[in-house]
Each structure stands twice: as structure tokens, then as C-alpha cells.
Amino acid sequence: MKILISVVDPDEAINALIGGADIIDIKDPSKGSLGAPDVLVLSLIKRVLPSGIVVSMALGDDPKDKRVMELTSIAERHAISYVKAGSLGLKDINDAINAYRNIKSWVRRAKPVAEAYADHYIAKCLSPMEILNAAYKSDFEVFMIDTLIKNGKSTFDYLNGRRLLEIKEKAHERGMLFALAGSLNLNHADEVSLIKPDIVGFRGAACNGNRVKGKVSKANVELLVKAYKHAL
């Protein structure tokens, strides 16, 4: 299980790396669950990271946003490993397939990630299984579940462990990696260990303070890495 830590600046990236993160995820949490980062910030973070570090980048919650094509080009120029696309605003599975196939056609080295929302019925988005099927038909390699509305509730407040395990198994049957996030913290380690996602992501739990104004600390990342690696 790989530990992904979302960061907003070079200092946070270094803290996450030293703390033991496997994947450094670059985004702007003030712009939403998958807020795309500023290009200058992306460049500065990439500059301080050693070569060979796996880096992901958010493309935004709406995969049909007019900036997504430009953002994928920026990701390619910066040798980003994964680009994460949300599912906000998708009308049906065909709409999702069209949006995701566009993203797939715009990347060469970066692997696209389709993100579904555990709170989809509140956010009026397509369900995780609908997004998983659309991602599979678009030749995506990674499927992720997160929460869109950041109100303190975690993915487990919307989907229980058994359902998440079923979805993970469906992703694996389709040859896709399964990633899990959504306001997870130290208290979720045992539940997550039963699901065994390929990737587990954090932002708020890695910060001193909240996910927007707080800062990722090395100590918090170390605690998460220890708890989640030990729980396996």
C-alpha cells in the first residue's frame, strides 16, 4: 500500500517526502477536493524533489473544464506520474466516457486517475461504480474514491468497508489500481487495512491545522505512515 500526501508548496513536499510518503500529490485544496495547482507552484515543488519521486497532480473536480487539456500538457512537461480527474458535472456514463477518453488522449507518460465521490448522492454526481466503468472503458489505470464535500465526514461515513472492498475487487478485475482517500485519519487505519487499497491518500490528517490553511508536517506524515504500514 502506497501512502499519498497532498501538498501545496515546496516545504510541504519536503516534509511529506522525509516523513515517508510514497507519492507526492500536488493540488490546491482551496479550489475544491481536486483543486488544480498554480503552474508556478507545480514547478517550484518539482524543482525541490529528487528525480525518481512519484508525483501526482490534480486536474480539477470537473473533467470537462476548459482548462483540463492545458493542465494535462503542463503535467506532461513536468514529468508528472499521475493526473487525477474528478467526476463533478458528468451527466451520465457516456458523458463520463467522452470526458475521460479526451484526458487519456492528451497524456503520454502520465497515468490518468478517475476520482469518484463517496458522497455522490449529496453532490449529485455519478456513483463510484458508474465512474469505475467509465474509467475502465476509457483505458484508465487507476480508480480512486474520495469525498467531494469537505465537512469533516470521511469516506466511511458514506460507504462501509464491505462496499469499499467490493469496489476495490471490481477495479482489480478490470486491471486497475484502487486508491482510497476522503478525510481519512489515524483512526481509520484498521478499517483501511481490511480493504488493502493500492494507494491511500491524505491531506487534512497530515496537516497541523485544517486541510486548507494548515501545513503538512513531517511528524504527522510519519505517524500516518507508521499506522497504515503497521496495520497491514
Q: pLDDT band at 212, cuts 50/70/90?
A: confident
Residue 19 sits in a domain whose CATH number is: 3.20.20.70
- List pLDDT tens digits, range 81-139: 999 999 999 999 999 999 999 999 999 999 999 999 999 999 899 999 999 999 999 99
**Distance, CA of 141 to CA of 127 (rounded, Å):** 18
State the Cα–Cα distance between residues 20 and 5, nearest whole angstrom: 10
Mean model confidence pLDDT for the chain: 97
Q: What percent of the chain has pLDDT over 70?
A: 100
Please tell me the predicted confidence (pLDDT) of residue 48.
Answer: 98
Average pLDDT (206-230) is 94
Strands (E), the chain: 2-7, 23-26, 54-58, 82-85, 111-117, 142-146, 177-180, 199-202, 207-208, 215-216
pTM of the predicted model as reported, rounded to 2 decimal places? 0.96
Domain that holds residue 182: 2-231
How many domains does the structure of the chain reveal? 1
Least Cα distance to 218 among 14, 9, 3 occurs for 14
Handedness of CA 167, 124, 135, 39 (dihedral sign): negative
Q: What is the pLDDT of residues 13-24, one digit of tens each?
A: 999 999 999 999
Rounded CA separation 42/123 (Å): 28
C-alpha–C-alpha distance, residues 100 and 15, integer Å: 33
Those residues with Cβ within 8 angstroms of residue 81's Cβ, 6 or more apart along the chain or in another chain: 23, 54, 55, 56, 109, 110, 111
Q: What is the pLDDT of residue 166?
A: 99
With CA atoms as reference, report the closest residue to 36 among 71, 78, 81. Answer: 71
Quick one: what percent of the chain has pLDDT higher than 90? 95
Determine the Cα–Cα distance for residues 57 and 6; give it in Å rounded to an integer. Answer: 9
Q: DSSP of 70-115, one letter per residue?
A: HHHHHHHHTT-SEEEE--TT--SHHHHHHHHHHHHHH-SSSEEEEE
User: Measured between alpha carbons, how far is 131 from 101 in angstroms, rounded to an integer?
Assistant: 13
User: Would you state the cell numbers that stand for residue 183, as one nine-digit string?
Assistant: 478525510
Q: Which residues are catalytic?
A: 27, 84
